[in-house]
Amino acid sequence: MSLKLLFELSKAGSNKFALPEIDVPVTAPSCGRKSDLLLPELPEVEVMRHYAALARLVHGVEDGPYPLGSCTMKYNPKINEITASLDGFSQIHPLQPADTIDGCREVLSIMNSSLCGILGMDAVSFQPAAGAHGEMTSLLVMHKYLQSIGQSQRTKIIVPDSSHGTNPASAVAAGFEVVTIPSYSNGMVNMEALKAAVGDDTAAMMLTNPNTLGIFDKQIAEMAAVVHGAGALMYYDGANLNAIMGWSRPGDMGFDIVHVNLHKTFSTPHGGGGPGSGPIACKAFLKDFLPYTEVGYREASDAKKSIGKVKAFHGNFAVVVKALTYILTLGSDGLKDASGKAVLNANYLFSKIAALYDEEYRPCMHEFVVSASKAGEKWGVHALDIAKAMLDEGIHPPTIYFPLIVKEAMMFEPTETESKESIDALAETMRSIFATASTDAEALHAAPLHAYIARPDEVKAAKEMVVQWTVNS
Ligand SMILES: *Cc1c(COP(=O)(O)O)cnc(C)c1O
């Protein structure tokens, strides 16, 4: 089957809908367009079939388990979609007078206090469109703050070698220099290396806790003391709060600023490029440096110190409505329970499959990392082959080859929305894939047999990106 774009399926004149005759004077000039807007022309039913066909080609959490570590592919309750599409939230314009959108302002206000409560922070900006965007915005906030106190010589950002790849990338994008420090073999930050790395050129340390190995770094208070002692700031990568909601708070751990992915922890859909939402939250002393928005609660005088805007208005507002629906549906006890079950599910899955990987038992938080290197040595079967075989079994593979410090890494995050039966079945599937690996490695090298795209050349896909379709090509 070859899938065509809507533009390729388009037939001139085939969509016969008609807009009513205009019955008011035309006042706005055309937008200066020299030719007609190029839009595909298709009957509605063909458009629906196209999207339904696309949906059948991908694996979503509604098709089966999706234990993609560091991504929190939990089930997104449909009530979130219902609230986000209410007219009062969806049929509005950002330039409407503020007093006609009180309800929307209230959503932001309740979400603001909810996030401050969950994070132990004092102020929030909803502008960033996703996690990495939140990281960069936070780095700009820290930069402006350090400038304001005469500390512009602080140009270095410390990240542990277990960090998510976006952390060093954002630091560089924001104009900082990255200093990577090693971890101990138990996955925690090497304190001696941290102490040696900090100095009066350190701007901040970026950390996620639990880290990308799924391990809660118990040295956090000491780390914060070392970094603050050197006059630098603590940044929390809160893309994934699934292990800690209601149990511990970045603000209490000593962090000064944090970003959150509403599209992970707070059950709004992601994958396929968004829309996401990566609000940032900070302690009071950084508040004035947050991005400035016209509509809302902050006075115009705040704008003087602000880093400016990183996106129009309040960012992806509909995502905030969905996330707030989730928070209010669960309540504070429910959020705490969700985190507790996310950690329980990860430990349960780990206990069922760790032996396949010849791993020592290691209690984890909401996710865990195992290494498939033994399967490679014994049978020539690699993390990639195991992941591809999972696709044929109706399970999305875990994150593979990340974090980089673990060879042949496979990073599982089952999330709290999988039942015990579902995790048992997942573990059984892993057992049968490993059984096949030991007897018929070729079968795994040939996997997947049932995916639309089987084994693309990932290097080529990354290096020769074709993201445009040219008319008449
Ligand atoms: C997902 C993730 C990010 C990046 O978030 P995006 O919304 O994809 O930009 C950053 N850090 C961690 C730990 C993550 O899991």
Return the pLDDT at 294: 60
Please give the backbone phi and psi of residue 127, each rounded to the nearest 5 degrees, phi first: -65, -45
Q: Is the CB of 261 under 6 A from ligand 1?
A: yes
Return the pLDDT at 34: 80
Contacts of 352 (CB under 8 A, 6+ apart): 423, 424, 427
Look up residue 2 and give its two tokens: 């070859």
Look up residue 1 and give its two tokens: 């089957």
Distance (angstroms) between ligand 1 centre and the Cα of 237 equals 8
Beta bridge partners of 235: 206, 257
Distance (angstroms) between ligand 1 centre and the Cα of 465 equals 21
| Preceding amide of 403 cis, omega within 30 | yes
Return the pLDDT at 299: 46
Q: Is the CB of 213 under 6 A from ligand 1?
A: no
Atom of ligand 1 lying closest to residue 278 CA = 7
Report the DSSP pairing between strands 280-282 and 123-125.
antiparallel
Q: Is the CB of 130 under 6 A from ligand 1?
A: yes
Q: Is the CB of 259 under 6 A from ligand 1?
A: no
Tallying the residues shown for the chain, one arrives at 473
Q: Is the CB of 208 under 6 A from ligand 1?
A: yes
Beta bridge partners of 178: 157
Kind and range of the H or E run holding 117: helix 102-119
C-alpha 293/C-alpha 300 separation (Å) is 9
Q: Confirm if 386 and 377 have CB atoms less than 8 A apart.
A: no
C-alpha 391/C-alpha 447 separation (Å) is 8
Atom of ligand 1 lying closest to residue 264 CA = 1
Q: Is the CB of 132 under 6 A from ligand 1?
A: yes
Question: What is the amino acid identity at position 279?
Answer: P
Q: Which stretches of the chain drop beneath a pLDDT of 50? A: 296-300, 473
Distance (angstroms) between ligand 1 centre and the Cα of 264 equals 9
Distance (angstroms) between ligand 1 centre and the Cα of 290 equals 20
Distance (angstroms) between ligand 1 centre and the Cα of 403 equals 13
- Measured at the alpha carbon of residue 111, what is the angle toward residues 289 and 122, in degrees to the nearest 5? 40
Q: Is the CB of 210 under 6 A from ligand 1?
A: no
C-alpha 278/C-alpha 175 separation (Å) is 20
Distance (angstroms) between ligand 1 centre and the Cα of 131 equals 5
Of 68, 70, 135, best ligand 1 pocket probe by most atoms within 8 Å of the beta carbon: 70
- Measured at the alpha carbon of residue 451, what is the angle toward residues 449 and 453, in degrees to the nearest 5? 110
Which residue has the least CA distance to atom 8 on ligand 1? 131
Distance (angstroms) between ligand 1 centre and the Cα of 239 equals 5
Distance (angstroms) between ligand 1 centre and the Cα of 207 equals 12
Q: Is the CB of 163 under 6 A from ligand 1?
A: no
Return the pLDDT at 26: 78
Return the pLDDT at 295: 52
Return the pLDDT at 273: 64
Q: Is the CB of 277 under 6 A from ligand 1?
A: no
Which residue has the least CA distance to atom 6 on ligand 1? 131
Atom of ligand 1 lying closest to residue 208 CA = 13
Return the pLDDT at 248: 96
Q: Confirm if 101 and 443 have CB atoms less than 8 A apart.
A: no
pLDDT tens string 188-237: 999 999 999 999 999 999 999 999 889 999 999 999 999 999 999 999 99
Q: Confirm if 412 and 398 have CB atoms less than 8 A apart.
A: yes
Q: Is the CB of 239 under 6 A from ligand 1?
A: yes
pTM greater than the 0.75 cutoff: yes
Of 164, 170, 242, 255, best ligand 1 pocket probe by most atoms within 8 Å of the beta carbon: 164
Please give the backbone phi and psi of residue 116, each rounded to the nearest 5 degrees, phi first: -60, -40
C-alpha 448/C-alpha 355 separation (Å) is 24
Q: In angstroms, how far is CA 186 from the centroid of its own chain?
A: 25
Look up residue 443 and give its two tokens: 């079968």
